[in-house]
A and B are shown apart, each in its own frame.
Chain A
Amino acid sequence: MRGSGPPVVIPNFGQGSACVRGDHTFCWGWVKDHWHDTLSPALVQHIELTAIAVGIGFALAFALALAAHRQRRIEHPVGIVAALLYTIPSLALFQILVPFTGLTWTTVEIALVSYTLVILFPNIVAGLQSVPPDVLEAARGMGLTRLQTLLRVELPLAVPAIIGGLRVAVVSTISIATIAAFLLPDGLGYPIFLALKDPTPFKTEIYSAGLLAVALALVCDATLLMLRRTLAPWAKRRLA
Chain B
Amino acid sequence: MTLADTANLHTFVEAFRFIGNNFDFLLTKAGQQLELSGAAVGIALVISLPLGVVLGHLHRGSGLAIGASIVGRALPSLVLIAAFLTLLGIGFVNNMVALAVLATGPILTNSFDAVDRVDPDAVDAARGMGMTGTQILRNIELPLALPLLFTGLRIAAVTVVATAPIAAIAGGGGLGDVIVNQASYRLAGVLGASICVMILSAAVFLGLLGLQAAVTPAGVRRHTSEEVTLERSST
Q: Which residues of A contact B (CB under 8 A)?
A: 79-80, 82-84, 86-93, 95-96, 98-102, 118-119, 122, 168, 171-172, 174-176, 178-179, 181-182, 189, 192-193, 195-197, 201, 203, 206-207, 209-210, 213-214, 217-218, 221, 239-240
Residue from B4, B77, B161, B232 having most chain A Cβ neighbours under 10 A: B232
When distances are taken between beta carbons in the complex, the residues of chain A under 8 Å from B113 are 239
When distances are taken between beta carbons in the complex, the residues of chain A under 8 Å from B32 are none
On whether the beta carbons of B79 and A213 are closer than 8 Å, the reply is yes
| Given A82-B230, A92-B179, A96-B191; A87-B83 close (CB under 8 Å) | no
Whether B95 is near chain A, meaning CB under 8 Å from some CB there, is no
> Can you list 23 contacts pairing A with B, beta carbon distance less than 8 Å?
A80-B228, A83-B205, A87-B158, A87-B162, A90-B235, A91-B179, A91-B197, A95-B191, A96-B195, A99-B12, A182-B180, A189-B76, A189-B78, A196-B169, A196-B170, A201-B85, A201-B86, A209-B79, A210-B79, A210-B82, A217-B76, A218-B71, A239-B65
| Given A87-B162, A91-B179, A119-B230; A96-B194 close (CB under 8 Å) | yes
| Given A90-B235, A99-B187, A176-B235; A168-B73 close (CB under 8 Å) | yes
The docked-state distance in angstroms from the alpha carbon of A99 to that of B194 is 13
| Given A87-B201, A196-B82; A213-B194 close (CB under 8 Å) | no
Residue from A92, A174, A197, A201 having most chain B Cβ neighbours under 10 A: A92
When distances are taken between beta carbons in the complex, the residues of chain B under 8 Å from A172 are 73, 232-234
Task: Tell me which residues from 127 to 182 in chain B have a Cβ below 8 Å from any Cβ of chain A.
Answer: 158, 161-163, 165-166, 169-170, 176, 179-180
The docked-state distance in angstroms from the alpha carbon of A129 to that of B146 is 26
